[in-house]
Amino acid sequence: MNKITICKGNNKTNVIIDKYKLIIGNNYLYHDNLFKNIKLFFSNIKNEYRQEYEKEVSIYVDDKLINRKRSILFNINKNFSLNKDFKMQTDSLVAKYLEIMIDKPELVDTINTINYLLEAFCEQINEISIIKTNYDVMTEKKLVKLIEPYVDIEGYKCDEYDLTYEEIIIIQLKLVNEIINNNQKYDYIFIILDIPCLRKKILDAILHLSNCFLFICINSNNLIENINLKDILLLENKVIDFADEEEVCEIICNNCYKPIYLYEVEEYMKEYFINSGSEKCSFIRKLLNK
């Protein structure tokens, strides 16, 4: 478990996270501020107002301030456009992935051959031309600009309009996973996954991720019964990180109409997530929303 601390001015939010954190609930103001601050930190956008009123954002991992230049944030959602991303702009996920692929050891000889041919090509031009020429050595970034990526279905080029919601999410997760597995640049990798519901195929792809901090925002409790309670951050009138046993005891165990133990909380909360109107967990509902 790691403790992520997001600070903005005097406001501080702690999130205890193992592989991922599932964020659910109706406290949209808290939700919006949490993710707006994470995105602001990685954007490195500064303005006079935040500087004047000391509202700049900083993020800590286990109480250690992280270096933004040595960290990266990936945003994954159902609105991902392959057509737009294939234009290979600076923030293109596909471009970052292809740079990793091109940098693999088995392609070094091929890249050297390309550079040799370019050098020979320029020398031939110089022999017959009044204007002399040079060439830029081919790097991963330059080669990526020359590549036309596409997704293949049964031998045909396709785009996001041919893919299901699950396929669009899983493609992004697989690209990010490959970047993580070949990472030598970043100390910390953060991912915000914003999806309507968590389906089994998506969960399976998530479980292949490692060495990252993944925040999953969902609007549906689908598959919640298969999730460890400690992986949930609940945003209601009361905000509870279920990985924080002290917080769980303070908000739930110590405020029930009858004694309740930590091991019982999981049973009640799963009932609450699956059927919040259930009479069995009515007291939980009252505690969270009073």
CATH number for position 206:
3.40.50
> pLDDT 10s digit of each residue in the chain, 290 long?
999 999 988 889 999 999 899 998 888 899 999 999 999 999 877 777 777 666 789 999 999 999 999 999 999 999 999 999 998 888 899 999 998 888 888 988 999 999 999 999 999 999 999 999 988 888 888 888 888 898 998 888 988 899 999 999 999 999 999 999 998 889 999 999 999 888 889 999 999 999 999 999 987 666 566 788 899 998 988 888 989 888 887 777 766 666 677 777 777 787 777 766 666 677 777 777 76
> Residue 270: what pLDDT?
77
Reported for 159-163, long-range contacts at CB under 8 A and 24+ positions apart, including other chains, are: 159/82, 159/83, 160/80, 160/81, 160/82, 160/83, 163/82
Residue 7's DSSP bridge partners are 12, 58
Instruction: For residue 96, tell me if it sits in a domain.
Output: yes
Look at residue 181 in the predicted model and tell me its pLDDT.
93
φ/ψ of 58, rounded to 5, equals: -135, 150
Q: How many domains does the chain have?
A: 3
Angle between helices 165-181 and 93-102 (to 10 degrees): 40
Q: Answer yes or no: do 98 and 40 share one domain.
A: no
Q: How far is CA 119 from CA 95, 106, 194, in A?
A: 26, 22, 47
Residue 18 domain flag? yes
**Contact assessment for residue 176 and residue 209, using Cβ atoms and an 8 Å cutoff:** yes
Per the CB < 8 A criterion, the answer to whether 187 and 70 are in contact is yes
168 lies in some domain: no
H helices of the chain, in order, are: 28-43, 48-52, 82-85, 93-102, 108-128, 140-146, 165-181, 200-206, 245-251, 262-274, 282-289
pLDDT at 223: 57
Pinpoint the alpha helices (H) of 44-107: 48-52, 82-85, 93-102
Report CA dihedral (266, 269, 275, 276) to the nearest 10 degrees: 170
Q: What confidence score (pLDDT) does residue 167 get?
A: 94
Residue 169 lies in a domain: no
The verdict on 209 and 228 lying in the same domain is yes
Which of 113, 129, 159 lies at the terminal end of a domain, its last residue?
Answer: 159
Spatial distance between the Cα atoms of 205 and 135, rounded to a whole number of angstroms:
42
Going by DSSP bridges, is the β-strand pair 239-241/20-24 parallel, antiparallel, or unpaired?
A: unpaired
**58 and 7 assigned to the same domain:** yes
Domain presence at residue 165: no
Q: 152 and 261 share a domain?
A: no
User: Of 159, 188, 223, which residue is a domain's last?
Assistant: 159
List the helix and strand counts (H, then E) for the chain.
11, 12
* Domain enclosing residue 267, as ranges: 245-289
Q: What are φ and ψ of residue 133, in 5° steps?
A: -130, 150
* 35 is a domain residue: yes
| 208, two tokens | 């292949």
Dist. CA 16–CA 53, nearest whole Å: 28
189 and 140 housed in the same domain: no
The answer to whether the Cα torsion of 228, 230, 235, 237 is positive or negative is positive
Shared-domain flag, residues 149 and 89: yes
Query: 172 lies in a domain?
Result: no
Q: Are residues 103 and 215 in the same domain?
A: no
> The tokens of 150 are what?
């596409």
Claim to verify: residue 232 and residue 189 sit in the same structural domain: yes
Strand partners, 91: none
Query: CA 29, CA 288: separation in Å to the nearest integer?
Result: 16
Residue 171 lies in a domain: no
